Chain A
């Protein structure tokens, strides 16, 4: 399973590096979202700094939709999906590989967006341990849930519009918990933030385990 995950994850990341969709489209989209928030909210009153945690995670969430859609778009072209089903790869390995590749892209996006909120919102990054732990758990949860709903939507003609409808309500707990944890860290009060990591950990474990067990049938049915 882990070997197959490396094969699939390596393939997906190689395709992303070649096509540059992540760097030329997803990353600029994420930055544009941050800039638009800056336009919409009044920077003079410190609103942006106070809301930067929430704005950061909303930008991550919206960008993750693009990353997940892209992950399954490459399997829809030229019958690659049938190739994947015939490949002999363990479905659990395919899930872990695709989720892993999405997670790697999300980490890169989070680094970019982290720099973005420092520069654009004048945010001071405090509580680095809590920030990093939150980001790791939230990323795993987003990638796992995104990969599950991505394969569900992939076989449908209306996948582009259906995926956000399916995924965004499901990952609302990640948005809530990650935002609260980051707010506590950025406010210099990390003790308030650590309990939220339990929510993120449970979400990541539940969706990770569900994906490992259910990805095979989902790939067949969708």
Chain B
């Protein structure tokens, strides 16, 4: 079966600066891959390239069967979910309205919103609270609820544990495990490597915009 992510010699620029300098990476369906590396190594850029948000200027980049070098960026976005450094939420809308907007946009039944909120452990009383009034952790959970409700085939998580309390981190790990059990593939960029290794099948180290090591079977029982 073709890999979910197939990158060969991928180069991507931020302005004139190369943020990916020849990435070679294959990720198979159902894998959880931990991306680690120092700040500025290119982890976030790699996730954004996979999401079709960062244009690939050279190399071969195929994600979920969509060639990102020949205009497949928009098509791939329907199948990926990105939890980035920002929440991508609208402050003046309530939690429920933000989730509903994302679901309508993705042509998903809005009725999935309540189940997603419950799944990520968001208190039902927050349903009609404006996002501007939420704590950082609650915002993160709301963004996670959007991701869960959309049921993407490829999860791209950038420092997903940041800003979450212990219970929320546990919920996040369970969500990732459940998503993989449901057939999804997950790329996690994290500095909290000990925690992320518990759920990852492989650890890929990114340095200077390229893969410096790729260690498989690091899962801890």
**A residues near B, CB below 8 A?**
4, 7, 11, 14-15, 18-19, 74, 77-80, 82-83, 85-89, 216, 220
Tell which of B77, B87, B101 has the most Cβ of chain A within 10 Å: B101
**B residues near A, CB below 8 A?**
51, 53, 73-74, 77-78, 80-82, 84-93, 97, 101-102, 104-107, 130
The answer for the CA separation of A88 and B107 in the assembled complex, in Å, is: 8
Partner of B93, one of A11, A87, A89: A11
- Are the CB atoms of A80 and B89 closer together than 8 Å? yes
**Nearest CB in chain B: distance from A81 CB, A:** 8
- Are the CB atoms of A79 and B92 closer together than 8 Å? no
- Which chain A residues border B89 with CB–CB below 8 Å? 78, 80, 83
- Which chain B residues border A88 with CB–CB below 8 Å? 77-78, 105-107
- Of all chain A residues, which has the CB nearest B73? A220
- Are the CB atoms of A18 and B86 closer together than 8 Å? no
Count of A-B contacts with CB under 8 A? 64
- Which chain A residues border B101 with CB–CB below 8 Å? 7, 11
Partner of B105, one of A7, A19, A77: A7
The answer for the CA separation of A83 and B74 in the assembled complex, in Å, is: 13
The answer for the CA separation of A83 and B208 in the assembled complex, in Å, is: 27
- Are the CB atoms of B92 and A19 closer together than 8 Å? yes
Tell which of A74, A82, A88 has the most Cβ of chain B within 10 Å: A88
**Nearest CB in chain B: distance from A87 CB, A:** 4
- Which chain A residues border B93 with CB–CB below 8 Å? 11, 14-15, 18
- Are the CB atoms of A82 and B90 closer together than 8 Å? no
- Which chain B residues border A82 with CB–CB below 8 Å? 53, 82, 84, 86, 88
- Are the CB atoms of A4 and B105 closer together than 8 Å? yes
- Of all chain A residues, which has the CB nearest B107? A88
- The 7 A-B pairs of least Cβ separation, nearest first, read A79-B86, A83-B88, A87-B105, A18-B92, A79-B88, A15-B92, A88-B78
